[in-house]
Amino acid sequence: MQTTLYCSKDKKDNYIWGLRPPIIYLIKLNQMKKQVLKDRMYRLKSDKTPISTMINSTHSPSNPLLYFDEEMGINRAMRYAKNQKSIFEDEQDKNVLIEPIIFEDGFLSTKRSDTLLQQFLELHPLNGTLYEEVDLERDAQDDLEDLNLEIEALKAASDLPLAKLEMIGRVLMGSKVDKIKTNELKRDVLLYAREDPEGFLEMLDDSDLELEELVTKAFSQSIITFRKQKREIYYNLKENKKRIITVPFGEDHKRSLISYFKTDDGLEVLELLEKKVK
């Protein structure tokens, strides 16, 4: 690392001569001073965390660790070595001591003095995808939003009139709805709203909800049926066994049929099902 000679005065006006690090390094030091020095915790983002997970700490062609430096306009190789003053290879000397970076049980704890490690983890390309810094305030905000969403969904579910409650239940549980009592149905819908509040609220706002209930009833009453591993939907009437549609690969069969209802050919099918479904 190149250095420059500098001269300054101390408090007693004595001249002091010494070596100054390059400007780019001083800039980074100033940036680090502005950072809050504190203990930081990092966690893996996956719900399934192994006993230990090690992330790469050195740059290599097969496993690159590059950071694009906006000031210099270049990609810079990173390497974590505890005995160095920088995380960038071009600012390190030859006596590097590489240390593994290991998450244990999904977490990695760092001290306020581990500034190099914290900076390395901040700039690491896996930050935000494999792991993230634990932010208790952000976690509290996320939890608050989830709780408010759950409260909204539960209130919406408890206020449903019986007809719409049965409609929601039939979409969720099929023909089972016709065999349970109102209190059981309300409980099951409330449980679903609690487990998936976002999905439940989206279902309430779905303009196709009534059509989805119609399709569910048509299947449960055997007015229509599947063939060829649920890839095709057919009429199942005494006078009509014709194919209605072929379900496109990867699509939900109910959604495919509902989309078909909105075509000129599908309108005739819709009108027939509305007459047949009880």
Residue ranges of the chain whose pLDDT lies below 70: 1-35
The full DSSP string for the chain is ---EEEEEE-TT--EEEEEE--HHHHHHHHHHHHS----EEEEESSSS--SEEEE--B--SSS--EEEETTTTEEEEBB-BTTSS-SBGGG--S---B--EEEETTEEEE-TT-HHHHHHHHH-TTBTTTEEE--HHHHHHHHHHHHHHHHHHHHHHHT--HHHHHHHHHHHHGGGGGGS-HHHHHHHHHHHHHH-HHHHHHHHT-TTHHHHHHHHHHHHTTSEEEETTTTEEEE-BTTB--EEEEPPTTS-HHHHHHHHHTSHHHHHHHHHHHHH--
pLDDT 10s digits, 76-85: 999 999 999 9
Distance CA 3, CA 80 (A): 22
pLDDT number for residue 50? 85
pLDDT number for residue 35? 66
pLDDT 10s digits, 87-114: 999 999 989 999 899 999 999 999 999 9
pLDDT number for residue 16? 47
pLDDT number for residue 190? 95
Pairing relationship of beta strands 232-235 and 243-246 according to DSSP bridges? antiparallel
Phi, psi of 34 (to 5 degrees): -75, -20
Distance CA 113, CA 115 (A): 5
CA-only gyration radius of the chain, Å: 32
User: Is-above-0.75 flag for pTM?
Assistant: no
pLDDT number for residue 15? 46
pLDDT number for residue 213? 86
pLDDT number for residue 171? 83
pLDDT 10s digits, 232-250: 999 999 889 999 999 888 8
pLDDT number for residue 129? 92
pLDDT number for residue 27? 42
